[in-house]
């Protein structure tokens, strides 16, 4: 089984390619140094050969126009219209990213968009019936019309996705698979808490995914979708056929399951995300956040406490049965958690397992570090034999 790492925030940025919004007009920070290539080489040396990375995230820097108005059959509407041709910086940055992967001798799973791309718009724009408002990095989300409207969807595929795929196809040797979207289930689930607003119609989402997958295959690339649960692959999203079925696993007792639940003929190929933090590490992070007095560092720590709360769960499959039938989790040691989890995933028939990294140190938040400490890397080395 191959081992990968989620590298979701190069230089701690959510969006990897295209116009930079912080600061505006400047190149993406990762393009100006060799930190990413050095990090990839460090990972490669530990036997981590695949990188999974977001490209456009929630779409905040993906500009077009918004049509706002009212229609008798729809009520109030807010439709995003993509550009006829994607900004060249998306293409230039993507080509550079693939070259960095080649130099470091790693492959990549580029994730085109996150589920938040289709969420309710998070910014304010002038309203007016029938009005087309140009966007200038004003707001994230709000691109749901790309899934809902067939003609707008086609504009997106022709003007944005296919130019990106053309570059990917020219660098096929470094593309492990091309991922349409991260965790699309949140766009259609009935209950999402604060993760997502008004849900999309499942048929609209399936049409979007199917058409994107068809384009990926037309360019001779392997396709994947980063599903939250294994059940998504065989449930609501079963009509969308990808080359490499992928799901994530954080040991939520109510929903999560691994390949062992299904017959071997229905095995998923990729674990796209799984946690690398133990409960004791999470408790230490939470304690540090509670004691932090510097507002900037505290904000970073508090957000990580929220983000990593789900990831601290121990895996029920990694429990010893004591004489009194008491479950004793084995994945509680930071020095062995990844080795044990990788061994287990390998035994279940996955061909690739992609680690979700550890929390970042607030004192290094502006540094593009690995987000996977030496202790965890050594654990991976034992599994990969490096």
Q: How confident is the model at residue 280 (pLDDT cuts 50, 70, 90)?
A: very high
DSSP 260: G
Phi, psi of 234 (to 5 degrees): -100, 0
Hey, what are 49's tokens?
């050969």
pLDDT of residue 323: 46
% of the chain beyond a pLDDT of 90: 66
Q: How confident is the model at residue 369 (pLDDT cuts 50, 70, 90)?
A: confident
CA–CA gap between residue 218 and residue 216 (Å, rounded) = 5
- List pLDDT tens digits, range 45-100: 999 999 999 999 999 999 999 988 777 777 777 899 999 999 999 999 999 999 99
CA–CA gap between residue 1 and residue 101 (Å, rounded) = 20
Q: How confident is the model at residue 232 (pLDDT cuts 50, 70, 90)?
A: very high
pLDDT of residue 192: 82
CA–CA gap between residue 64 and residue 155 (Å, rounded) = 11
For residue 326, pLDDT beyond 70: no
pLDDT of residue 310: 86
pLDDT of residue 130: 67
Once rounded to an integer, what is the mean pLDDT over residues 36-47?
A: 95
Sheet holding 131-134, edge to edge: 75-81, 65-71, 131-134
3-class SS letters over 344-386? HHHHCCCCEEEECCCCCCHHHCCCCCCCCCHHHHHHHHHHHCC
Strand ranges in 164-269 using DSSP code E only, listed in sequence order = 178-182, 223-227, 246-249
Strand ranges in the chain using DSSP code E only, listed in sequence order = 2-6, 48-54, 65-71, 75-81, 107-114, 131-134, 178-182, 223-227, 246-249, 270-274, 319-321, 327-329, 352-355
Once rounded to an integer, what is the mean pLDDT over residues 241-253?
A: 94
349 close to 259: Cβ distance less than 8 angstroms: yes
**Which residue, chain included where needed, has tokens 């121990």?**
314
Q: How confident is the model at residue 324 (pLDDT cuts 50, 70, 90)?
A: very low
- List pLDDT tens digits, range 101-146: 999 999 999 999 999 999 988 876 666 666 788 888 988 999 999 9
**Which residue, chain included where needed, has tokens 């990413």?**
36
Q: Is 283 helix (H, G, I), strand (E, B) or coil?
A: helix
């Amino acid at each position: 089984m191959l081992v990968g790492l989620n590298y979701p925030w190069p230089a701690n940025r959510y969006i990897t390619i295209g116009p930079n919004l912080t600061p505006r007009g400047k190149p993406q920070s990762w393009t100006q140094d060799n930190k990413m290539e050095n990090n990839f080489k460090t990972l490669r040396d530990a036997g981590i050969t695949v990188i999974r990375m977001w490209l456009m995230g929630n779409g905040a820097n993906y500009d077009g126009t918004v049509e706002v108005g009212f229609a008798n059959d729809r009520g109030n509407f807010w439709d995003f219209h993509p550009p006829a041709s994607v900004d060249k910086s998306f293409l230039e940055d993507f080509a550079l990213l693939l070259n960095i992967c080649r130099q470091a001798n790693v492959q990549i799973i580029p994730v085109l968009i996150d589920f938040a791309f289709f969420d309710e718009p998070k910014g304010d724009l002038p309203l007016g019936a029938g009005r087309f408002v140009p966007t200038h990095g004003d707001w994230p989300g709000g691109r749901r019309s790309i899934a809902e409207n067939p003609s707008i969807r086609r504009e997106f595929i022709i003007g944005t996705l296919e130019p990106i795929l053309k570059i990917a196809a020219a660098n096929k040797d470094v593309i492990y698979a091309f991922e349409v979207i991260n965790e699309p289930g949140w766009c259609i689930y009935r209950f999402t808490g604060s993760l997502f607003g008004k849900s999309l119609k499942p048929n609209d989402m399936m049409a979007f995914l199917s058409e994107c997958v068809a384009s990926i295959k037309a360019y001779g690339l392997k396709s994947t979708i980063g599903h939250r649960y294994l059940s998504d692959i065989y449930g609501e999203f079963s009509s969308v056929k990808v080359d490499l079925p992928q799901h994530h696993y954080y040991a939520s007792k109510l929903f999560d399951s691994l390949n062992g639940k299904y017959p071997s003929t229905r095995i998923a190929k990729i674990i796209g995300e799984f946690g690398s933090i133990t409960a004791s590490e999470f408790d230490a992070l939470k304690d540090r956040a509670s004691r932090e007095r510097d507002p900037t560092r505290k904000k970073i720590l508090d957000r990580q406490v929220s983000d990593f709360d789900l990831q601290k769960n121990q895996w029920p499959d990694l429990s010893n049965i004591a004489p009194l039938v008491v479950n004793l989790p084995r994945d509680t040691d930071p020095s062995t958690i990844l080795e044990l989890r990788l061994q287990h995933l390998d035994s279940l028939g996955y061909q690739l397992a992609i680690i979700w990294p550890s929390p970042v140190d607030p004192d290094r938040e502006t540094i593009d570090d690995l987000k996977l400490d030496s202790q965890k890397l050594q654990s991976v080395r034992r599994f990969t034999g490096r």
